[in-house]
A and B are shown apart, each in its own frame.
Chain A
Amino acid sequence: MGKPEVEAKSTVSYSPFAIWFRKRGKRLLSPHFVLGVILLVILAYLVVAPLITLVRTTATWQPTDTRIRNENVVVGQFTTYHWQRILGSNLSKAALWDPLLNTLTVAAGTVVLVTVIGSLLAWLVTRTDLPMRKFISNLAVLPYILPSWTIALAWVQVFQNSKSYMPRGFLEYFTGITVPEWLVFGPVPIIIAMGLHYYPFAFLLISGALSSIDSQLEESGEVLGASRLKILRRITFPIVLPALTSAVLLAFARSIGTFGTPAILGLPARYTLISTQIYSFLGTGRDSQGYILAIILMFMSFVGLGLNYRLIGSRKSFTTIGGKGSKHSPVKLGKWKIPITIIVLVFLVVVAIFPLVLIGWSSVMLNMGDFSLSNFSLQYWIGESSRAYADGAPGVLRHAEVLGALKNSVSLAVIGGILTGLVGMAIGYVVVKERGKWLSQSLEQLSFVPMLIPSIVFGSIYLALFSKANWFIPSLYGTFALLIVVTIGKQLPYTARSGVSSMLQVSGDLEEAAIIQGVPWGKRFLRIMFPLTKNGFIAGALIVLITTMRELSLYILLATPANRVLTSITYRFIEEGNKQITYAITILLILTVLILTAAVNKWQKTDLASGIGGK
C-alpha cells in the first residue's frame, strides 16, 4: 500500500516521550479526563481539605487552648490532650457518653417512626384503592419542605404549660390539661418531631420502589399459588429492601447530625445530643473537642453505611427492576376504606397543616399563652419598634435585618442550587464516561463524603479553612461566597447522585453520533448531554434550593452580621426567647420555599424523588 511520500512521512522517528505522549496523552487530554481532574481538585478542596483540617485540629493545640492552665500549650503542636479529655476524663460522661447514648436513643426511635409511617403511607398510596391518592401523596411530602424545627416549635406551642412555669400552650389554653414535663421536652418529643420531619424520605423512596416493581413478578408468584404473605416476604420485600435501607440510612444520618430540633426540644430539659454538645463546644472556642465528637458521629454514619452495603451489596440493582411499573390490581380496603382514609387525612392534617396554622396563629398573638381573639395583633409582622415587644425589634416585614436575610437566603438558595446542580451533572458525566476507572470511582466516593459530616461541623471547618487565604483562594471570611462554597460542598452528594443516574440514562451512542461528525466537546455537552439530562439537573438543584432555604446548622457559625440568612436570624430570636418573631420568620421562610418550589415546578415538571437519589 501507499504512495511513497506518505510512507516516508509517517516513518519519521519520534522520541520515546513523544510516542508515549501520543499514546497515553490522548486519553489524558480527553475532555472528560480533564474535566474529571478539575472536579477532583475541586473535591479535594471542598471535601478532602476539610477532612484533614478536622482530624488535625483534634490532635493539635489551638489558639484558644492557651487559656488552659497546667498544660504546656504550644499552638500548632501535636497533643493528645483533647482526645484524653473527651474519652478518658471526668468530663467524658457529660461530654461524650451521655450525649452519645441520647443520640443513639433518639436516632433509633426516629428510624423506627420514619420507617413505619413511610412504608405504611407508601403502601397505601401505591397499592390500595385508597381515595385521593394523588392529594395524599402531595400532602405527605410537605413536612420535608418545612424547616426541620417547625414541628419542634409547634410542639412546644401545643404542650408547654403553666406547671412548668411556661406560657400556656394550645392544649392547656383550650382544655386545661397540663402534660408532664417529659412530654414537653426531652427524648420523646425529639423523636416524634424528627420522625414526622424525616418520614417523607422513606415515603418517597419506598413508594418509588413499590411502583417500579413489575406486577408480573408478584402475579407470577400468585399464579404459582404462593400466599399473599409469602409473596410479600419473598418477592416484594427483597425488592423494596434497598429503598427501605436507604431511607433508614438517610434518616439515621440526618437525625444524628441535626441541630435545630434537639436544641429547641432538648436543651430546656438539659437533654443533650452529640449535635447540641458540638454546638456548645464550638460556641465556647473548644473546636478540637467539638471535632472529636464530629468524628465519632461520622464514624457512626460510616458504620451505618457499611451495614447497608453488607445487607444490600450487589442486590442494589433490584430498585430498577422491571422499570415499566405495569398496572397493579390494587388491594381492596373494603370496609376499612373509610376509616383508613379518615385516619390518614387526620394524620396528615395534624403533622403537615396544623403546625403551620398554629405557628401562623402564634405569630399574630400579642402575648404568649393567650389564644383569644382579643390578643390578635400584627405587631410582630408590621409593627413599629417598641420597647414593650420583642426587645424593641420591629415587625419582620419592617425589620431591615430580616429582609436582608431573606434576600440573602433566596440568592443563596438559587445560586447554590444552580451551581451545585451543575457540579453534580459534571461529576455524573465524568463518572459515567470513565466508568470502571479510578477517576470515576474516586469522584463518586469523594462526592458522597459530605453526607457523613454533620452540617454544623461542616460549617465550622469551612470557617477555619477559608478564614485565611490559602493556595490561590483569598480569605472568604464573612463573604457571601463562603456561604455558597459551603452549600456546594455540603449538598454535593444529592446532585452528584442525581447527576450520575440521569447521565446513565443517556445512551453512549447519542454522544458518539456527534463525535463521529467531529462536533467539539463543549458543544456536545451543551447541546446534547445537557438538554437530555436537564430534568435530573433541575430535580437536584430544586432539592438543594429547598434544603438551603431551611438549613440552619450549616450556616449558624458562618453567617456574620453582614451576611445573615433567614435561618440563622431565626435561631438568634429563638435564643433570645422572642417567640412570635421566630414564628413570623418561620412562616415567611415557608412561604418563600413554597413559592420558589411552585415556580420551579411550573417552569419545569420535576420529580422530587429523583432529587434525593430515589432513582
Chain B
Amino acid sequence: MSEKKKIVLKGITKRFPGVTVIDNMDLDIMDRDFTTLLGPSGCGKTTTLRIIAGLEQPDEGEIWIDDRLVFSAKRGINLPAVERKVGLIFQSYALWPHMTVFQNVSFGLEGTMSKAEISKRVKESLANVQMEEYVQRYPSELSGGQQQRVAVARMLAAQPEILLMDEPLSNLDAKLRMQMRAELKRMHNDMNVTVVYVTHDQEEALTLSTKTAVMNEGIIEQYDRPEQVYKNPATLFVADFMGNPQMNLLPVGVEPKDGATKLTFDTGESILLNRQVRAGRHILGIRPEDLTVSSQPVEHGLKGRVYAVLPAGSSVIIYASVGDTDLIIREARETVVHIDQDLWITCDQDYLNLYDQETKKLVG
C-alpha cells in the first residue's frame, strides 16, 4: 500500500520457562497494510500480537513504530500501549460485563477529554458499527456479533493508528463471519489505519489481508502477498498448511534436459518443465485445482484410478491413486467420473512448485 514502514520487529525473541515461543523474528509491516498472522494453534500468533501491543515483554530484540523505538531489550525501553497508539481486540472481546455498552466504550476515554466530547466520541464510534441503539444494554444482553461490534467500537474510540485483532471472528457463525469480514475490510479501507490480524483460518487470511505472515513454531515461514503465499508457498510447511483440500506433494526426480527440466515420477512417467531447476530428488507440490483429468489417454498424462468422488457444491473433488501415491484433484462440478474408473491426469506447468527434500525450501 505504501512505502513507509509502520511497525518494525527486529530480532524479537520471547521465552517462557522452558520454551522459546518466538525465535529471533524480523517483520516489517507497512503503513496502511492489513497484515494477517496465520498459523496453526500454538505457533505464537497471539504472543506476537501481544508483544506489539506492549502487553508482553520480549527477552530480546527491538520494536520500532513510526520510526520511534518503542521497545528495546538492550536499552531497557518499553513504552506502554497508549504511547504506541495501538488498539487491541481480544479473542474473547473482553467486554466489561458490569458496564453498559456506553460505559464500555467511554471508560478508556475518561480523564482525557471533557464529558461532552466523550459522549460525542462514544456515539460516533457506536454509530460507526451500527450499535448506537444499544448504549444502555449490558454485554450479556447482546448477541455474539453485537458484542464483537462493541469491542470494535471500544477500540476505535481511542483513535489508534494501529489496530491489533486476535481472531475476532472465531466465535461467530459462518454467515455472520462473512458479513463481519466485509465490514472489517471496508473499515480498513475507509480509515487511515494499519491492521495486524491474527487468525488460524487461511480463508480469512486470503480474503482480508494485503500481506500474510505464515508462522510455524515461533518462526515466520513466509511473508508475502496472500495470492503469492497461495500460489508459490516458500516452504513445504506453507505448502501443506495453505489450501483446502491440501496441496499434493509427490517425490520426483529432477534432471536438466535441452534447456528445460525433466521431472520423473516414481511410476516412471515424466513431464517436461520449461524452466530450469537444480537437479536432484525433490518434492513436487501442486494444488488440486491445478490438475486436470481426462477419461481418454493424454500425452504426458499420469494414469490413475479413481477411488473416491466427493461433490463439493461448486466443484467436485476426486481422489485418485497413481502408483502407490494418492492425488487429490478439484474439477468443475460438471465433471462426471465414477469410482474405479481410469483417468489421465495432467497439470498446469505454471503452478508447479519444487521443494528441496532437505531444506524444505522452494527451489523452483
Could you tell me which residues of chain A, from 1 to 24, have a CB within 8 Å of some CB in chain B? 1-3, 6, 10, 14, 18-23
Q: A528-B96, A532-B98 are in contact. Are A3 and B108 (CB under 8 A)?
A: no
Q: A10-B77, A19-B75 are in contact. Are A516 and B97 (CB under 8 A)?
A: no
Could you tell me which residues of chain A, from 193 to 209, have a CB within 8 Å of some CB in chain B? none
Q: A507-B94, A510-B94 are in contact. Are A1 and B67 (CB under 8 A)?
A: yes
A77 located at the interface, meaning its Cβ lies under 8 Å from any Cβ of chain B in the complex: no
Q: Which of B84-92, B221-229, B348-356 contacts A (4 or more CB under 8 A)?
A: B84-92
Is B94 in contact with A513, judged by CB distance below 8 angstroms?
A: yes
Is B55 in contact with A512, judged by CB distance below 8 angstroms?
A: yes
Is B108 in contact with A23, judged by CB distance below 8 angstroms?
A: no
Q: A509-B94, A517-B158, A528-B96 are in contact. Are A22 and B108 (CB under 8 A)?
A: no
Contact of A517 among B55, B74, B98, B108 (CB under 8 A): B108
A527 located at the interface, meaning its Cβ lies under 8 Å from any Cβ of chain B in the complex: yes
Can you report 27 A-B residue pairs in the complex whose CB atoms are below 8 A from each other? Answer: A6-B68, A6-B69, A10-B75, A18-B76, A20-B76, A22-B75, A22-B78, A23-B73, A26-B78, A509-B90, A512-B55, A513-B88, A513-B96, A513-B154, A515-B80, A516-B55, A516-B81, A516-B86, A516-B87, A517-B81, A517-B82, A517-B107, A518-B81, A519-B107, A531-B98, A532-B96, A532-B97
A514 located at the interface, meaning its Cβ lies under 8 Å from any Cβ of chain B in the complex: yes
Is B96 in contact with A510, judged by CB distance below 8 angstroms?
A: yes
Question: Taking beta carbons and an 8 Å cutoff, which residues of A are in contact with B?
Answer: 1-3, 6, 10, 14, 18-23, 26, 436, 507, 509-510, 512-519, 527-528, 531-532
B60 vs chain A, min Cβ distance (A)? 11
A24 vs chain B, min Cβ distance (A)? 8
Is B75 in contact with A514, judged by CB distance below 8 angstroms?
A: no
Name the residue of chain B whose CB is nearest to the CB of A517: B108
B163 vs chain A, min Cβ distance (A)? 11
Q: A510-B96, A516-B55 are in contact. Are A22 and B81 (CB under 8 A)?
A: no
A133 vs chain B, min Cβ distance (A)? 29
B320 located at the interface, meaning its Cβ lies under 8 Å from any Cβ of chain A in the complex: no
Given contacts A507-B92, A518-B108, 4 further A-B contacts (CB under 8 A): A22-B78, A509-B94, A515-B81, A528-B96
Contacts of B75 in A (CB 8 A): 10, 14, 19, 22
The 3 A-B residue pairs whose C-beta atoms are closest, nearest first, are: A22-B76, A517-B108, A518-B82
Q: A512-B94, A516-B88, A532-B98 are in contact. Are A22 and B67 (CB under 8 A)?
A: no
B43 located at the interface, meaning its Cβ lies under 8 Å from any Cβ of chain A in the complex: no
Is A519 in contact with B108, judged by CB distance below 8 angstroms?
A: yes
Could you tell me which residues of chain B, from 211 to 252, have a CB within 8 Å of some CB in chain A? none
Contacts of B74 in A (CB 8 A): 19
Q: How far is the CA of A531 from the CA of B97 in the complex (A)?
A: 10
Flag B94-111 by CB within 8 Å of A: 1 or 0 each. Answer: 111110000000011100
Contacts of B5 in A (CB 8 A): 1
Name the residue of chain B whose CB is nearest to the CB of A25: B76
Q: How far is the CA of A6 from the CA of B8 in the complex (A)?
A: 15
B53 located at the interface, meaning its Cβ lies under 8 Å from any Cβ of chain A in the complex: yes
B64 located at the interface, meaning its Cβ lies under 8 Å from any Cβ of chain A in the complex: yes
Contacts of B53 in A (CB 8 A): 516
Is A6 in contact with B108, judged by CB distance below 8 angstroms?
A: no
Contacts of B95 in A (CB 8 A): 513
Is B92 in contact with A509, judged by CB distance below 8 angstroms?
A: yes
Name the residue of chain B whose CB is nearest to the CB of A24: B76
Interface centre among A2, A18, A510, A517 (most CB of B within 10 A): A517
Q: How far is the CA of A22 from the CA of B78 in the complex (A)?
A: 8
Q: A19-B76, A513-B90, A516-B86 are in contact. Are A10 and B107 (CB under 8 A)?
A: no
Is A1 in contact with B8, judged by CB distance below 8 angstroms?
A: yes
Name the residue of chain A whose CB is nearest to the CB of B103: A527
Q: How far is the CA of A18 from the CA of B77 in the complex (A)?
A: 11
Is B107 in contact with A527, judged by CB distance below 8 angstroms?
A: yes
Contacts of A516 in B (CB 8 A): 53, 55, 81-82, 86-88, 108
A437 vs chain B, min Cβ distance (A)? 10
Contacts of B96 in A (CB 8 A): 510, 513, 528, 532
Q: How far is the CA of A512 from the CA of B68 in the complex (A)?
A: 23
Contacts of A528 in B (CB 8 A): 96
Q: How far is the CA of A510 from the CA of B76 in the complex (A)?
A: 27
Flag B45-86 by CB within 8 Å of A: 1 or 0 each. Answer: 000000001010100000010011100111111101110001
A130 vs chain B, min Cβ distance (A)? 34
A120 vs chain B, min Cβ distance (A)? 38
Q: How far is the CA of A3 from the CA of B66 in the complex (A)?
A: 10
Interface centre among B74, B75, B87 (most CB of A within 10 A): B75
Name the residue of chain B whose CB is nearest to the CB of A26: B78
Q: How far is the CA of A519 from the CA of B82 in the complex (A)?
A: 9
Name the residue of chain B whose CB is nearest to the CB of A2: B67
A524 vs chain B, min Cβ distance (A)? 10
Is A514 in contact with B107, judged by CB distance below 8 angstroms?
A: yes
Q: How far is the CA of A519 from the CA of B80 in the complex (A)?
A: 11
Q: A516-B86, A519-B108, A532-B97 are in contact. Are A3 and B81 (CB under 8 A)?
A: no
Could you tell me which residues of chain B, from 1 to 59, have a CB within 8 Å of some CB in chain A? 5, 8, 17, 53, 55, 57
Q: How far is the CA of A586 from the CA of B303 in the complex (A)?
A: 96
Interface centre among A18, A515, A516 (most CB of B within 10 A): A516
Q: How far is the CA of A1 from the CA of B64 in the complex (A)?
A: 9
Name the residue of chain A whose CB is nearest to the CB of B89: A513
Name the residue of chain B whose CB is nearest to the CB of A10: B69
Contacts of B86 in A (CB 8 A): 516
Q: How far is the CA of A519 from the CA of B57 in the complex (A)?
A: 19
Contact of A3 among B67, B80, B92 (CB under 8 A): B67
Is A514 in contact with B67, judged by CB distance below 8 angstroms?
A: no
Contacts of B98 in A (CB 8 A): 531-532
B91 vs chain A, min Cβ distance (A)? 8
B81 vs chain A, min Cβ distance (A)? 5
Contacts of B92 in A (CB 8 A): 507, 509
Contacts of B81 in A (CB 8 A): 515-518
